[in-house]
Structure formats: structure tokens, C-alpha cells
């Protein structure tokens, strides 16, 4: 009953918020060398540092149209994050396209790329922005500029979602831009990666993860570009180009397939959502339910059970689950008979997914399942559909398969690894961190919380601040793994 009341209140909240979602122009946000316009959306009720999403329109569009068609403002209201909408002007491009192919606009600290970076800096200066949660997305030319921001500012952007877009520096002038759009430019993963690395030769952190959304009958930006994007960002994230998991009927829609490419540590690096039969557009699923939104338009196509903005936000981890899943967070390889459950509501059905290689032995459709695991860690996830027909936001639980995060199993004395809050660093004693192959930081729920980092002597300087809590640190070199527990207060 409590959850049913919550769901009714949520729908009323959505209906109320849908009436007032206008964006606000911002001037004086910097020197603005790219001569772009800036709009912002600031939802009510934000407390403390919050994420920021940069959303960029396609050719012939403007910020207002894009904000309406994508539904980003609705999600910002529900889940409390900020949105900024860069806008192109006709003086820069007569078709209102972002100049994703112009070298005076796509390199670090010049042109349109710098203008967008200044918009981010403005938001950080005027609002409590979580610097580790800055995300970028866009369609078409805005998708091309999404690749630009990920490449030029990997120290700023955490993740990106490119919709019907192109790789970074697929073109460097209008002629090659047309070729890239119409048929695609083919390069090796290493060649694509080198174009990005050249922007920040001294960068040692992690590159942004990427979600790709593309229609199979896109005659404006050939879907070949989705494959080239995958090659570029798997290379940058130490992943190969072999699909690690596939869902050929995502959310029950046989037109939507999801392919996931994992990095060398088996963590997802690139998602590719392929929409069969869709042209040059974002996918929207209009309606008032929490997982629906957007509006049909020139570059926005109705798709059953698939609102691309929602799934981009889910990829950015902006959408918290409605409740916790109960079950083990550490299991052995090939563990069988492991039970996971959520509260039961009369009339609801439940759709569960499990990590690659795992199988659901029983309980699919109910609030409790029994799982047989393989060798891969990953999320146990459930989506509840109440009797109303809406789907609630998914709940997730990260499960480590054969990965020790139990402190009792740690071979490392605590004094050999410790956290220094004043400099957000992990200090080690007699551990050869110069030979470090991987660093993993797990929460006590088993979730991978590893930020970017750099090495200074025997000190690991973390790129972003860890939230308060207890963590397990795991360092791996060629021969050994070192584990310890730290507290962040």
C-alpha cells in the first residue's frame, strides 16, 4: 500500500512539473570564443552538490525545441540535477549545426568547445555542481560535438551519450564532413584513439565512457559511424571490439538491441543501442510514466518502451532505484541457488536481469528470483510494473563474482595502505605502485566506485572525491593483489 501511494504521488508530481519546464538564457558566462548561446534548467529542491548534463541540439533546431523533445527537464525535476543547453547561431552556421568538423572549434581551449567548457565553469561557479558527475549528450551535429567535449575535456566529462552522431575528428572540413555523414570514415581503433589522445598528451586519467544510440535507416548520418564511435572509445577505455553481452529485445521491444563492450577489467566501457527502422532521430516514448517522456518532432521518433533520454540518464547513473534489492553481494564462481528479492506489491510484475553468464533459475516475473552465477560480476537488476501499466525506475545491486571484497580475506596489514582526506589520496608503504596494473575501490555494497587517479611516488592521487563511507581498496600488479579497508569521513 505504501508503494502504491508513492507511485500515485509520483504521477501527480510528474503532471504538475510538466506544466512549467522553461529554460532560462544565460549571458556573461565567459569570453565565449565560439559565440554560442547558453540556456540552463535549474529544478527546484536541489540540496547539496548535484550532477550536470550538457544537452546539444541538432541542425535546424534550437535549445528550446531540443529541451522539449528530449524530456531532460522532466528527469531533472524528478531526480534533481542541472541541465545546460548550448545553442548554435546562424552567424556561425547557416543550418544551426554545431561545427563538430571545424578545427577552430573542436580542439581543447578554442572556439565552440571552449565556449561550452565556459558554460560548465559558470555552473560550477554559481551552483553546487558535483565535479565528478558532468555528462554530455546530443543528436546529430550535437552528437558530433558531444564527441568533441569528451575528447577535448576528458578531465571534465565523466560520460557521454552520442545520438545519431560521429566520432571525434571523423572530419576536419565541410567536404570530409559530408563523406563521414553519408558513408562513414573508417579507421582502426588505434587511429581513432590517437586523434583523441593528441588533444591531451599528458593526460593520465580515465577517458569518459560512452553510450551510442543510432537508427538503422538513418540516411543523414550513416549508422557506420556508430561502429567507428565504438572503435574509438573502446580503444580509449582499454577494451577490445568484441561484444561482451547483447540484449536483442531491450525492454521487450524487438526493434531495440543493446550491445555492451567491457574494458580489460570486465567493466562496461561502451553501450550501443541500435534502433531498427528508426531514421535520423532520438527515440522517445511519450507519456506521463516515470520512464516515459519527450515529444515527437522532426528529429524525435516514437518508440515503444524506449525513451533514449531516460536510458542515457540511466547510463549516467542519474536515476536511483526505488528500493533496495536484498541478496548476497559477494558470491563464488558458479555459485547456485542465490536468492534476490524486493518488496512485493499486489498486481505488480517484475522483470529481472542478471550479469553475463548468469541464469535465473526461478522466479522471473515475481518479486524474488533464484540465480545461478557464472564467472562474471555485474548488476542484478529489477523493474517493477504496477497494475497501472507504468514501469518504475529500476533497482540495481552490484554482485562481485569471485572478487574478494571481504576484509577478513585481505592479506594486507592495514598500516600499509591508508587514506588521507586532506589531499584525497591513498598512501601506500612498500607497495610497488609504479608497476600498478589496476586499482579498484568498492563500496560495502560491492559497487565499483573507482575514480580516475594519478601516481605520485607511493601515493595514489584520486581524481574525484569519494563520498563519505567505508571502502575496500584492491591494488593489482603483475604478480600480487593488495587489499585493505579505508574510511572516508
Grid cell digits, residue 207: 577517458
Residue-wise DSSP of 235-280:
HHTTB-SS-SEEETTGGG-TTEEEEEEEBTTS-EEEEEEEETT--S
Mean pLDDT of 312-318: 95
Residues 79 and 66: their CA atoms lie apart, in Å, by 19
pLDDT band, residue 5 (cuts 50/70/90): very low
Smallest CA-to-CA distance from 83 within 105, 54, 56, 122 is with: 54
Q: What percent of the chain has pLDDT over 90?
A: 69
Largest CA distance in the chain: 64
Of 219-233, 238-252, 255-269, where does the model show the most confidence? 219-233
Taking residues 291-299, report their average pLDDT: 94
Q: What was the pLDDT predicted at 446? A: 61
pLDDT value at position 322?
86
Q: What is the mean pLDDT of residues 373-402?
A: 90
Q: How much is the pLDDT for 266?
A: 80
State which H helix or E strand residue 50 sits in: strand 50-56
- 112 vs 438 pLDDT, higher one: 112
Q: What confidence tens digit (pLDDT) does each residue in 364-379 have?
A: 999 999 999 999 888 8
Range 131-150 average pLDDT: 97
3-state secondary structure of 233: helix
Residue 9's pLDDT is: 37
Phi, psi of 102 (to 5 degrees): -95, 120
The pLDDT value recorded for residue 435 is: 57
Residue 118 scores a pLDDT above 50: yes
- Name the least confident of 147-161, 167-181, 309-323, 451-465: 451-465
Q: Which residue has the higher pLDDT, 136 or 7?
A: 136
Given a contact cutoff of 8 angstroms between Cβ atoms, the answer to whether 169 and 113 are in contact is no
Q: Contact 362/371 with Cβ under 8 angstroms?
A: no
Neighbours of 463 (CB within 10 A): 16
The cell 607511493 sits on which residue?
458
Partner residues linked to 245 by β-bridges: 260
Report the alpha-carbon distance of residue 73 to residue 23 in Å, rounded.
Answer: 9
Of the two residues 474 and 286, the one the predictor is more confident about is 286
Q: What is the model's pLDDT at position 438?
A: 65
417-447 pLDDT tens trace: 777 777 788 877 656 665 565 677 877 666 6
**What separation in angstroms does the CA of 390 have from each of 292, 313, 380?**
9, 18, 21
Query: What's the mean pLDDT when you consider all of the chain?
Result: 88
The answer for residues whose C-beta is within 8 angstroms of residue 481's C-beta and 6 or more apart is 474, 475
pLDDT (mean) for 266-277: 94
| Closest CA relative to residue 71, chosen from 319, 247, 243 | 319
Q: How far is CA 80 from CA 53, 59, 124, 128, 190, in A?
A: 11, 29, 16, 12, 38
Whole-number Å distance between alpha carbons of 301 and 214 = 12
Per-position DSSP letters for 106-144, written without gaps between them: HSTTSHHHHHHHHHHHHHHHHS-EEEEEEEEEEETHHHH
Residue 16: predicted pLDDT:
42
Per-residue model confidence (pLDDT) at position 402 = 86
pLDDT band at 407 (very low <50, low <70, confident <90, very high): very low
Which run of H or E residues covers position 454?
strand 453-456
Confidence (pLDDT) at 41: 98
* Residue scoring higher pLDDT (367 or 408): 367
- Domains belonging to the chain, first-starting first, are 21-315 (3.40.50.1820), 330-401 (2.60.40), 407-488 (2.60.40)
Give the HSE-up count for residue 51: Cα atoms under 13 Å, Cβ half-sphere. 23
Share of the chain above pLDDT 70, in %: 87
By annotation, the residues acting in catalysis are 140
Tell whether the model's pLDDT for residue 414 goes beyond 50: no
> Confidence band (pLDDT; 50, 70, 90) for 468?
confident
Separation CA 229–CA 217 (nearest Å)? 17
Kindly report the backbone phi and psi dihedral angles of residue 375, in degrees, each rounded to the nearest multiple of 5, phi listed first.
-115, 0
Question: Could you tell me how far CA 307 lies from the centroid of its own chain?
Answer: 15
Q: 279 with 215: CB under 8 angstroms?
A: yes
Please tell me the predicted confidence (pLDDT) of residue 410: 38
Residue 215 CA to residue 258 CA, distance in Å, equals 12
Q: Cα–Cα distances in Å, from 306 out to 70, 88, 151, 164, 180?
A: 12, 28, 28, 16, 27
pLDDT score, position 464 = 76
Q: Grid coordinates standing for 417? A: 595502505
Distance CA 43, CA 25 (A): 15
State the Cα–Cα distance between residues 100 and 160, nearest whole angstrom.
Answer: 15
Summarize the confidence of residues 31-60 as an average pLDDT: 96
**What is the Cα–Cα distance from 444 to 484, expressed in whole angstroms?**
12
Q: Specify the length of the chain in residues.
A: 489
pLDDT number for residue 18: 43
pLDDT band at 180 (very low <50, low <70, confident <90, very high): very high
Report the distance separating Cα 113 and Cα 145, nearest Å: 8
Q: Is 215 helix (H, G, I), strand (E, B) or coil?
A: strand
pLDDT score for 481: 61
Instruction: Indicate the helix (H) or strand (E) that contains 210.
Output: strand 209-215
Amino acid at each position: 500500500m505504501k508503494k502504491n501511494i508513492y507511485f500515485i504521488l509520483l504521477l501527480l508530481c510528474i503532471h504538475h512539473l510538466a506544466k512549467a519546464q522553461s529554460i532560462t538564457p544565460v549571458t556573461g558566462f565567459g569570453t565565449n570564443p565560439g559565440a554560442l548561446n547558453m540556456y540552463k534548467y535549474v529544478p527546484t529542491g536541489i540540496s547539496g552538490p548535484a550532477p550536470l548534463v550538457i544537452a546539444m541540439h541538432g541542425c535546424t533546431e534550437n535549445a528550446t525545441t531540443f529541451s522539449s523533445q528530449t524530456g531532460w527537464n522532466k528527469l531533472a525535476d524528478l531526480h534533481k540535477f542541472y541541465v545546460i543547453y548550448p545553442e548554435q547561431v546562424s552567424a556561425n552556421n547557416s543550418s544551426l549545426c554545431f561545427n563538430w568538423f571545424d578545427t577552430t572549434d573542436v580542439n581543447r581551449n578554442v572556439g565552440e568547445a571552449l565556449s561550452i567548457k565556459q558554460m560548465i565553469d559558470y555552473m560550477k561557479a554559481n551552483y553546487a555542481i558535483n565535479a565528478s558527475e558532468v555528462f554530455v549528450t546530443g543528436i546529430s551535429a550535437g552528437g558530433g560535438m558531444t564527441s568533441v567535449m569528451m575528447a577535448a575535456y576528458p578531465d571534465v566529462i565523466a560520460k557521454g551519450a552520442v545520438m545519431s552522431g560521429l566520432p571525434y575528428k571523423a572530419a576536419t572540413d565541410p567536404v570530409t564532413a559530408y563523406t563521414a555523414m553519408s558513408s562513414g570514415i573508417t579507421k582502426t581503433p588505434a587511429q581513432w584513439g590517437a586523434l583523441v589522445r593528441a588533444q591531451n598528451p599528458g593526460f593520465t586519467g580515465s577517458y569518459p565512457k560512452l553510450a551510442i544510440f543510432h537508427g538503422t535507416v538513418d540516411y543523414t548520418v550513416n549508422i557506420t559511424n556508430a561502429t567507428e564511435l565504438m572503435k574509438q572509445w573502446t580503444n580509449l577505455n582499454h577494451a577490445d571490439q568484441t561484444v561482451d553481452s547483447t540484449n536483442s529485445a531491450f525492454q521487450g521491444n524487438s526493434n531495440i538491441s543493446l550491445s555492451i563492450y567491457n574494458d580489460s577489467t570486465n567493466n562496461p566501457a561502451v553501450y550501443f543501442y541500435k534502433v531498427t527502422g528508426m531514421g535520423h532521430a532520438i527515440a522517445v516514448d511519450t507519456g506521463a510514466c516515470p520512464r516515459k517522456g519527450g515529444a515527437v518532432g522532426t528529429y524525435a521518433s516514437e518508440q515503444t518502451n524506449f525513451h533514449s533520454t531516460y536510458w542515457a540518464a540511466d547510463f549516467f547513473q542519474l536515476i536511483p532505484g526505488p528500493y533496495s534489492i536484498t541478496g548476497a553481494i559477494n558470491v563464488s564462481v558458479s555459485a547456485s541457488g542465490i536468492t534476490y528479492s524486493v518488496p512485493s506489491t499486489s498486481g505488480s510484475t517484475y522483470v529481472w536481469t542478471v550479469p553475463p553468464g548468469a541464469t535465473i533459475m526461478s522466479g522471473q516475473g515475481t518479486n524474488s528470483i533464484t540465480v545461478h552465477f557464472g564467472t562474471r560480476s555485474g548488476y542484478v537488476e529489477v523493474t517493477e510494473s504496477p497494475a497501472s501499466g507504468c514501469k518504475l525506475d529500476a533497482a540495481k545491486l552490484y554482485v562481485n563474482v569471485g572478487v574478494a571484497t571481504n576484509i577478513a580475506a585481505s592479506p594486507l596489514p592495514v598500516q600499509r595502505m591508508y587514506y588521507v582526506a586532506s589531499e584525497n589520496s591513498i598512501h601506500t608503504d612498500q607497495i610497488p605502485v609504479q608497476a600498478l596494473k589496476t586499482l579498484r575501490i568498492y563500496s560495502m555494497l560491492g559497487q565499483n566506485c573507482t575514480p580516475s587517479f594519478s601516481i605520485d611516488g607511493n601515493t595514489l592521487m584520486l581524481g574525484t572525491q569519494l563520498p563519505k563511507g567505508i571502502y575496500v581498496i584492491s591494488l593489482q600488479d603483475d604478480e600480487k593483489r593488495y587489499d585493505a579497508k579505508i574510511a572516508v569521513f
